[in-house]
Chain A
Amino acid sequence: MEKTDVLVIGGGATGTGVLRDLALRGVDAILAEQQDLAYGTSSRFHGLLHSGARYAVNDPESARECRQENAILKRIARCCVDDTGGLFVLLPGDDPGYADDWFAACLRAGIAVQEIPAAEALSLEPNLNPALKRVFRVPDASIDGFALVWANVGSAAGHGARAYTYTRVDRIIVRDGTVSGALVTDLRTGEQRQIECRFIVNAAGAWAGQVARLAGCELKILASKGSLLVFNHRVTNRVVNRLRRPGDGDIIVPQDTVAILGTTSVPVDGPEHLGSSRAEVDQLLLLGRDLVPGLDERRVLRSFAGVRPLYQENGGEGQRPQDGRAVARQFALVDHERQGVRGLITVVGGKLTTFRLMAEQATNLVCVLLEHDAPCRTAVEVLLPEATAAQVRQLQRYFSPPVSQKMAERLGRADLDQLLGILSRNGWKRQFVCECEQVCLAELEWRATGSSWLRLGDLRCRTRLGMGTCQGTICAARAIGQLYQDGMLDLGRARRLLGEFLDERWKGNQEVLWGDQLRERLYARNVYLNLHNFQKEADDYGL
């Protein structure tokens, strides 16, 4: 039986953050994630590395936490942060008095806020509503949730930690009121096994209530769903917030080649409500065009939703807040000893921006209980060494400067060495599988070889394969063909994976089918049904 000191449940930002923190402090730890890493809210979010400004008025404590973590992550996590800067824009019709209160609150929270002339804002971001009244600069940035989670795990693994994906925790074993291990199921094989441990950190986000219940503990988590729209291109180069009391559809975040508009806030029963409705899509478009006129005519690639876990201190007794935003967004650290289970702690809520701080406090608590004396180093140790200038130069032997730059940012130093290795052996693997996002054969091969359980969706999250304009039309078949040729799949599995991938892409497209995106999807349909003769798979998967 496998043994460890601490078992971390949940492979989102919080869980992987805890894993890394434990590993850097020399504590032996294992992480179990039921699906692939970042399956939960950590990839189904807006991608905003908050400066704190959004919370300055309503939740000054959160604002201060965000401000500190924002600065730390910009330092240690440059591999996943795009330091775009952010703007807060006061539109005509919005309360001008709020702007002054907000400005004062930002200053109180120590946020570097600066008003700029409207003309300057419009020259920085020519697509903004030209009628805007006032504009403020804040240190918002854009953060890649996938990259962050893998970087955490990569760094933890470098310090001896283990992370298991597709491994669901089904039971928490409690002996004499003390946690002694967990029963996990490998979802790939259906096999069950036991992991023995002294502590469990429940970092299961919106699932945290369910996980606590596995040990017989009660934990009130309210679930609030937020929907987001992905646009075909970067609508703005900076994060744009609407300056008013936080509401729906008031933030646009540039992420790599796309822009994300969000969000809505709808109370839901549990974490598995991952679709967004057409009504939400329409609502977002209507709101978005206030910030950027014509935004509702730009091409939307997909819609998606995430679920916010909102912790309720004293159970909330059956009541549901109308708006999830009214519940404080600070996080909670719960030691379940007071419910009679020693060795189980839950860390939940907060924001992705504050994941490191949440992990630090959870790890502090674990270390106290373990009587292990070691300081936290996650705020000072760089997460993933960046690509060197020499590596970028080498990349430019195969790719143009902008493509090399993107690849170097996406991969980091260690992975880039692997990639360059493959390219130096097989120069032809510079060919692109995914042209929209410029993912080459070598990158696909490297990611596929590295993963224990191959699914196109997982490769997508690691490379951006299929995330661009064509949503997999061109690249899915190419990628599967190449993996098959490289002997990584048999035919049956290749067909299944292709179907599964197309189905997943399709789900996110369903609510945004009009105009150019509709044409694209019809084109995709013809490519797969008529060109690739994919009728059987389509029937099997109900495509």
Chain B
Amino acid sequence: MDLPIRSELDKCIKCGLCTASCPVASRTGGFAGPKHMGPEMTRFRLDDRLGLEAQIDYCCNCRTCEQACPSGVKISLLNACYRHDLHTRQGLKLRDGILGRPGMMARLGSLNAGATNYVLNNRLVRAALDRGLGIARERPLPAYSRENLKKWFQRRRQPDSSPNKVVYFPGCTAEYNLPEIGRSVVNILERCSYQVILPPPNCCGLPLAANGFLEDAARMAGQNLDNLLPFVRQGYPVIVSCPSCGLALKSEYEELHNLPQARSLAANVYDFSEWLLTLQQRGAPASGFRDLALRVAYHTPCHLKAQGIGQPSLEILKKIPSLQVIEVDEGCCGMSGSFGFKKEQYRLSLEIGARLFNRIREIAPDLVASDCSSCCMQISHATGIGAVHPAVLIDQAYGRVEEKK
């Protein structure tokens, strides 16, 4: 771990572009920004006598800074190591441990989804979570689905096996909270004549790393490598529908956890829309789109930007007849996965996204589309306008009607 940090901080030329672009630093004086917290404080931190700054918790891990940096400094890597050091020295918070493990919580929650959702929406329960754990009571919690993706997948009659196979890594949200995303992805992939393989459900580990649990995150990453590499070796691509999972699989396993073979996985991971767009460009059934008479505002999630693959969802949505797509180019929504759940950061999280919300209210669309379900949660919560994953819209455009259960 030690050496990569040192070369990262040596790359910095101190230009300050990262801090100028950080959505958090520009909203609060409590956070000095990525230049200070990253390359600057890392130089101080190498002196092991010195204390650490708790303000690193303000970093919402959006990685806007890394895209701004002309020197290619992996600021989030420095930040993740800093957070880890801070938390190992000061002890980790139970709350952050819970927020860092969406998959585990979801497995518990889904055991009896109805009851869990009921309990989690109870005002008294929320007050207790707020006081006891520091989870903001104003923040709606994600509901757990009665039927997770895996159950649905197993229940369905499998279509004839096709010679073309893809592996779909749904991550926690599409597995437990919003399996309709996963269902849409599977439908579309199958429509493109692929046989879809679902690996055992597992978290990508990014929320753990973002909350300072580096060892646990690395273990998670190791499990996923074990699950996915056999498929990669057979030449199957791995598709993700969550931009954060994508970022973890594409870069974190190698850069942050330094895991052997992470690179060969990374080279075969594709964001769902990235993959679909390539298929369409190669002549796959783009033509099959039906009319979808909707006004949709599209928001590009930070973690999708960080993958450097452009805006494939936007491009696909634009091809849907009658669908009016308006891009909202107003930066980070402020939610950043677990960040916006934290009591001390709830208000800040909404302030960060204020410009985005205002713009969306101006546009007044029927729906917002965004690849990241955490962005979707935040946007709906702040604007009252429904927000969905583009896959759901694309699935509808391909003519599918959500089955009734």
- The interface bits of chain A over 220-256 (1 if a CB of B lies within 8 angstroms of the residue's CB, else 0) are 0000000000001111010000000000000000101
- The interface bits of chain B over 36-56 (1 if a CB of A lies within 8 angstroms of the residue's CB, else 0) are 100111111111111111010
Contact, CB under 8 Å: B11 / A469: no
Contacts of B47 in A (CB 8 A): 234, 237, 254, 256-257
A402 and B45 contact, Cβ closer than 8 Å, known pairs A470-B14, A519-B71: yes
In the complex, which residues 1-25 of chain B have their Cβ closer than 8 Å to any Cβ of chain A? Answer: 2-3, 6-7, 9-16
Contacts of B14 in A (CB 8 A): 435-436, 469-470, 473-474, 520
Any A CB within 8 A of the CB of B35 = yes
A400 and B43 contact, Cβ closer than 8 Å, known pairs A127-B3, A436-B14: no
Contacts of B49 in A (CB 8 A): 405
A474, B71: Cα distance in complex, Å = 17
Contacts of A234 in B (CB 8 A): 43, 46-47
Contact, CB under 8 Å: B43 / A401: no
Contact, CB under 8 Å: A402 / B41: yes
Any B CB within 8 A of the CB of A158 = no
Any B CB within 8 A of the CB of A455 = no
CB distance from A299 to the nearest CB of B (A): 4
Name the one of B2, B6, B32, B44 contacting A298, with C-beta atoms under 8 angstroms: B6
Contact, CB under 8 Å: A436 / B43: yes
A516, B7: Cα distance in complex, Å = 10
In the complex, which residues 428-480 of chain A have their Cβ closer than 8 Å to any Cβ of chain B? Answer: 435-436, 438, 468-470, 473-474
CB distance from A366 to the nearest CB of B (A): 39
A304, B40: Cα distance in complex, Å = 23
Name the one of B35, B40, B50 contacting A405, with C-beta atoms under 8 angstroms: B50
Any B CB within 8 A of the CB of A406 = yes
Any B CB within 8 A of the CB of A523 = yes
Contact, CB under 8 Å: B12 / A469: yes
Contacts of B71 in A (CB 8 A): 516, 519
Contact, CB under 8 Å: A232 / B35: no
Contacts of A405 in B (CB 8 A): 49-51
CB distance from A286 to the nearest CB of B (A): 19
A401, B13: Cα distance in complex, Å = 25
Q: Majority SS of interface residues in chain A?
A: loop
In the complex, residue of chain A having the shortest beta-carbon distance to the beta carbon of B12: A469
A256, B47: Cα distance in complex, Å = 8
Contacts of A233 in B (CB 8 A): 6, 9-10, 42-43, 46
Name the one of B7, B15, B40 contacting A436, with C-beta atoms under 8 angstroms: B40
Contact, CB under 8 Å: B11 / A516: yes
A257 and B10 contact, Cβ closer than 8 Å, known pairs A405-B51, A519-B71: no
In the complex, residue of chain A having the shortest beta-carbon distance to the beta carbon of B50: A402
In the complex, residue of chain B having the shortest beta-carbon distance to the beta carbon of A471: B14
CB distance from A231 to the nearest CB of B (A): 9
Contacts of A237 in B (CB 8 A): 46-48
Name the one of B3, B13, B40 contacting A516, with C-beta atoms under 8 angstroms: B13
Contacts of A298 in B (CB 8 A): 6-7, 10
CB distance from A392 to the nearest CB of B (A): 10
Any B CB within 8 A of the CB of A177 = no
In the complex, which residues 302-350 of chain A have their Cβ closer than 8 Å to any Cβ of chain B? Answer: none
A405, B45: Cα distance in complex, Å = 12
CB distance from B47 to the nearest CB of A (A): 6
Contact, CB under 8 Å: A519 / B43: no
A516, B9: Cα distance in complex, Å = 10
Contact, CB under 8 Å: B46 / A232: no
Name the one of B2, B10, B45, B46 contacting A299, with C-beta atoms under 8 angstroms: B10
Contacts of A257 in B (CB 8 A): 43-44, 46-47
CB distance from A516 to the nearest CB of B (A): 5
A516, B12: Cα distance in complex, Å = 8
A233, B160: Cα distance in complex, Å = 60
Contact, CB under 8 Å: B53 / A402: yes
CB distance from A80 to the nearest CB of B (A): 15
Max chain B CB contacts within 10 Å: which of A126, A403, A470, A473?
A: A403
CB distance from A302 to the nearest CB of B (A): 14
A298, B10: Cα distance in complex, Å = 7
Any B CB within 8 A of the CB of A421 = no
Top-7 shortest CB links A-B = A299-B10, A401-B51, A470-B14, A402-B50, A400-B53, A234-B46, A520-B13
Q: Interface of B with A (CB < 8 Å)?
A: 2-3, 6-7, 9-16, 32, 35-36, 39-53, 55, 71
Q: A127-B2, A232-B43, A516-B13 are in contact. List 7 more A-B contacts (CB 8 A).
A: A235-B6, A256-B47, A401-B52, A402-B52, A405-B51, A438-B40, A519-B71
10 chain-A/chain-B pairs, Cβ below 8 angstroms: A126-B2, A233-B9, A237-B47, A406-B44, A435-B40, A438-B40, A468-B43, A474-B16, A516-B11, A519-B13
